[in-house]
Amino acid sequence: MKKLNIALVGAGFMGKAHVIGYSNMPKLFWPAPAMPVLKTVCDIVPEIASEAKERFGFEKCCTDWHDVVNDPEIDVVSICTPNNKHAEIAIAALKAGKHVLCEKPIASTLEDAKAMAEAAAETADKGIISMNAYQYRRVPAVDLAKKFIDEGLIGDILNIRCTYLQSWSADPNSPLSWRFQKSIAGAGTLGDIASHVIDIAQYLGGDIDQVVGMMKTYIKERPVQEGGVDLLGTVKIKENAVKKAVDVDDEDSFLVKFKNGAVGSIEATRNAWGRNNFITFEVHGTMGSLTFNYEKLNELNVCLANDPDDRRGFKTIYTGPASPHGDVTWNIPGMNIGYGELKAIEMYEFIKAVAEGYQPTTNFQVGYRVERVCDAVKESSEKGTWVQVKD
Ligand SMILES: NC(=O)c1ccc[n+]([C@@H]2O[C@H](COP(=O)([O-])OP(=O)(O)OC[C@H]3O[C@@H](n4cnc5c(N)ncnc54)[C@H](O)[C@@H]3O)[C@@H](O)[C@H]2O)c1
């Protein structure tokens, strides 16, 4: 079986998720499209790099990403750094002939996102694969919703309502990590989590054409943490830590019009006490409705208009072997999958695309389009008007 040598750049929260995905993919999907080999882990912090080598089982570690991009042994570069580093590393890696899986959002600025999409388009001609890590569209229940929509089960789509609600930054004393600094993150909630549901909305409903919305920052300063790793608000801060300004959004709400005539809404916040990873959608069609909540990610709810009046209502389908990516979902639907299996599905899609030589559904062109929707939301929030998403 073909082997692919993997280099991981950035060994924080998402670095671990990528390793779990690569390691478990062949155990769940067999025969695997190719065998990922954990070759080199790179982190700018030497202790994180050497710990990751030992913990995750990489053969080598380093602290300068140029070393993996210039290493002829490396086939694939997985980018898990903060957002402002994505473009530089991804473009260099693509130009060096490496396949690239880059975390989302694609970049911290629209200009960088465009440059990445252009580099990916140029290198695609030479068989180089690019992918952004919009993994939530690959949840079997979400893919099942897409299948039902494509089959016409719920008729023409009228409305798609999405939320992504979390609570981890609701505490004003949670640290000012890189996620709250525009120069590193690019945006706050918008790029961090609204981008995921923009991707899901466009996956299910086609391209978003126009948006009108608002963005808000509730917590205007936070205590500065030491060190660059974020770990989603769980890093301990000193008692007398100095506070600095937050210059990104906490909450975003916007209405959308899809190119196909459907409408919808998207809301995202990291300040919703009691909500953890509350990714939801409702899709209302002329012949039925679908609903999903990631906190119950193994379930898709379906209501069909043609059911008799006395028994019309939502039924719950538990995803399992009969669902998309059924290989990963254990033998009995109620056995359930979680985030680890989801990252294995993502690595399966990526490695399969690399092995078979096609661009996956979340390639850099798709990531760049999500970024253009985000950019239109920012412009709309400033102007208070509907804004056209740039094609
Ligand atoms: N797909 C998802 O659901 C999801 C979830 C969380 C984070 N993310 C994305 O993953 C990326 C990383 O986020 P995270 O939560 O893992 O952050 P993190 O802070 O936990 O980890 C980032 C790591 O990158 C390292 N790093 C920083 N600059 C570097 C450089 N120049 N070279 C090498 N290493 C460098 C840091 O030392 C740190 O170990 C971000 O783009 C984020 O938006 C995606």
Q: According to the 3-state scheme, what is the secondary structure of 9-35?
A: ECCCHHHHHHHHHHHHHHHHCCCCCCE
* pLDDT score for 224: 85
**What is the model's pTM?**
0.97
Mean pLDDT of 179-191: 97
Region 173-195: mean pLDDT is 95
Within the chain, which residue ranges are assigned CATH 3.40.50.720? 3-133
163-185 average pLDDT score: 93
pLDDT of 112 over the 90 cut: yes
Distance CA 220, CA 290 (A): 38
Check pocket membership of 199 for ligand 1, CB cut-off 6 A: no
Question: Which of 233, 272, 232 lies closest to 250, judged by CA?
Answer: 272
**Alpha-carbon span 92 to 99, nearest angstrom:** 11
Q: How confident is the model at residue 125 (pLDDT cuts 50, 70, 90)?
A: very high
Average pLDDT over every residue of 18-33:
97
Q: How much is the average pLDDT of 57-74?
A: 98
Asked if residue 42 has its Cβ within 6 Å of ligand 1, the reply is yes
- Residues 93-116 have a mean pLDDT of 98
97 CA from centroid of ligand 1 (Å): 23
The predicted model gives 64-91 an average pLDDT of 98
Ligand 1 centroid–CA 160 distance in Å is 30
User: Which residue is closest in CA terms to ligand 1's atom 32?
Assistant: 44
Does residue 231 have its Cβ closer than 6 Å to ligand 1? yes
- The pLDDT score that the predictor gives to residue 225 is 76
Mean pLDDT value across the chain: 96
For ligand 1, whether the C-beta of 87 sits within 6 Å is no
The values of phi and psi at residue 228, to 5°, are -95, -5
Q: Give the pLDDT confidence score for residue 228 in this predicted structure.
A: 60
- Residue 307 confidence (pLDDT): 98
* Residue 1: pLDDT over 70: yes
Compute the half-sphere exposure of residue 8: CA atoms within 13 Å on the CB side of its CA. Answer: 32
Q: Which atom of ligand 1 is nearest to the CA of 48?
A: 39
**CA 129 to ligand 1 center in whole angstroms:** 21
How far is the centre of ligand 1, averaged over its atoms, from the C-alpha of 82 (Å)? 4
Q: Which of 8, 9, 13, 48 to mutate to test the pocket of ligand 1 (most atoms within 8 A of CB)?
A: 13
Q: Report the CATH fold assignment for 3-133.
A: Rossmann fold (3.40.50)
CA of 13 relative to ligand 1 center, distance in Å: 7
Residue 72 Cα to ligand 1 middle (Å): 24
What is the Å distance from ligand 1's center to 41 Cα? 13
CATH topology classification for 136-361+368-383: Dihydrodipicolinate Reductase; domain 2 (3.30.360)
pLDDT band at 240 (very low <50, low <70, confident <90, very high): confident
Q: Report CA(168)–ligand 1 centroid distance (Å).
A: 17
> Residue 64 and residue 223: Cα distance in Å, rounded?
29
Sign of CA dihedral 34, 39, 44, 48: positive
280 within 8 A of 270, measured Cβ to Cβ: no
pLDDT at 313 over 70: yes
Question: Are the beta carbons of 6 and 44 closer than 8 angstroms?
Answer: no
Cβ–ligand 1 distance for 175 under 6 Å, the answer no
296 by Cβ neighbours in 10 Å (0-12 / 13-18 / 19+) ranks as middle
When pLDDT is cut at 50, 70 and 90, the band that residue 229 belongs to is low
Q: Is the CB of 10 under 6 A from ligand 1?
A: yes
How many A from CA of 64 to the centre of ligand 1?
15
Confidence of residue 234 (pLDDT cuts 50, 70, 90): low
| Per-residue pLDDT band at 52 (split at 50, 70, 90) | very high
- What is the number of the ligand 1 atom nearest to the C-alpha of 177? 19
Which atom of ligand 1 is nearest to 231's Cα?
Answer: 20
User: Where in the chain is CATH 3.30.360.10?
Assistant: 136-361+368-383
